[in-house]
Amino acid sequence: MPRHAAAIFCLAGLAASAAAGDRVSYLDNGAVRLGVNLDLGGSITWLSAAGGESLVNNHDWGRQIQMSFYSGPVPFAPHGKKPAPAWEKLGWNPIQSGDCFGRRARVVEHRNDGKAIYVKCVPMQWPLDNEPGDCLFESWIELKGAAAGVRCRLTNARLDKGQYPARGQELPAVYTTGAYWRLMTYTGEKPFTGEPLVRIDRKLTEGGWAHGRASESWAALVNDKEFGLGVYSPGNTDFIGGFYGTPNGPGSDPTGYISPVRREILDHDIVYEYRYTLVLGSLKDIRRWVYDNAPRPGGSSPIASTGATTTPPTPAGPSAGN
């Protein structure tokens, strides 16, 4: 997964060149259209307002909206394989779409009844060439209004029974196209009171993704008109994110990034689940959805203006997995 500027991507433009022939399974409720790519592990490769353009970045297999996990050892070199030098410090890192050499994850089960999608896949180790993950990924997706609720499950079956230190897990990794470059959230001490939002003004080339608190358990990447994608992670206030490239720049390389993160030890046989929601709309609409749906102490408060201020984010290292 993209982590530092020195080696931002292994195979530039790979996804764009292959997407035309891929099998994509869609849900569409008239408000939101969502597609999972059955040739990329079932990762989310399309998300748009009905009839609109997708916000999802598909520049390479490390983008999309997808599951991604981290553990040891570091480096991870099974069967004598050597990880790509740019990614050797990531260690054990299965992701849903594929690896940095262009090998795709394999879907082993898929259902779509028009209301919900279920996908099970064998992921790929991102830093290694053609090394399937020693685990399974599952995801369940449903649409409700302008939101997509997602449940994810990791089932480990590692032969290596060693216990490795806790790592920051991407729950999930979310990459947007270059038009959605303004990272917005609330970082204050009075969540759910409608206080002004904050813009996190941080580019990947400025020392790594921003790492800080989202006090209301959500953050959003929006365009110049304050329309975009919100990511809500129940009970989680630890987020990383930022932007790489030139806002509104040409091609698929520029990208926004958001990930709710939580430090977890992933045992060799763990079954680990989490949930998140993707919300399309204006900043005001995204925040209102969270206020209407997030459990919290006390009652709802009116949402104030979303006027943003720019503050320096908490310093971050280059990797979510540290």
- pLDDT tens string 266-308: 999 999 999 999 999 999 999 999 999 998 765 444 444 334 4
Residue 223 lies in a domain: yes
Tell me the CATH number at 22: 2.70.98
Residue 7 pLDDT level (bands cut at 50, 70, 90): very low
Specify the DSSP element, H or E, that contains 120: strand 116-122
Residue 79 lies in a domain: yes
Residue 66 lies in a domain: yes
CA dihedral sign of residues 228, 168, 187, 245: negative
- pLDDT tens string 227-251: 999 999 999 999 999 999 999 887 8
Per-residue model confidence (pLDDT) at position 248: 87
Per-residue model confidence (pLDDT) at position 154: 98
**How far, in whole angstroms, is CA 115 from its chain's centroid?**
22
Residue 254 lies in a domain: yes
Residue 267 lies in a domain: yes
Residue 318 lies in a domain: no
State the residue range of the domain holding 33: 5-311
CA geometry: angle 160, 161, 163, nearest 5 deg:
110
Could you tell me which residues come within 8 angstroms of residue 103 by beta carbon, excluding any fewer than 6 positions away? 124, 129, 130
Distances (CA, A) of 301 to 214, 236, 292, 293, 309: 18, 20, 10, 13, 21
In angstroms, the CA 177 to CA 185 distance is 19
Residues in the chain, total: 322
DSSP one-letter code for 116: E
Could you tell me which residues come within 8 angstroms of residue 250 by beta carbon, excluding any fewer than 6 positions away? none
Per-residue model confidence (pLDDT) at position 4: 39
Q: Report helix, strand or coil for 287.
A: helix
In angstroms, the CA 16 to CA 9 distance is 14
Give the bridge partners for 118, in sequence order. Answer: 111, 140
With a cut of 70, say whether residue 146 has pLDDT above it.
Answer: yes
Q: Report helix, strand or coil for 138.
A: strand
- pLDDT tens string 150-197: 999 999 999 999 999 999 999 999 999 999 999 999 999 999 999 999
What total number of domains does the chain contain? 1
Tokens of 300: 């709802």
Residue 319 lies in a domain: no
Tokens of 38: 């059955």
Judged by average pLDDT, the poorest of 38-52, 169-183, 200-214 is: 200-214
> Is the pTM here over 0.85, yes or no?
yes
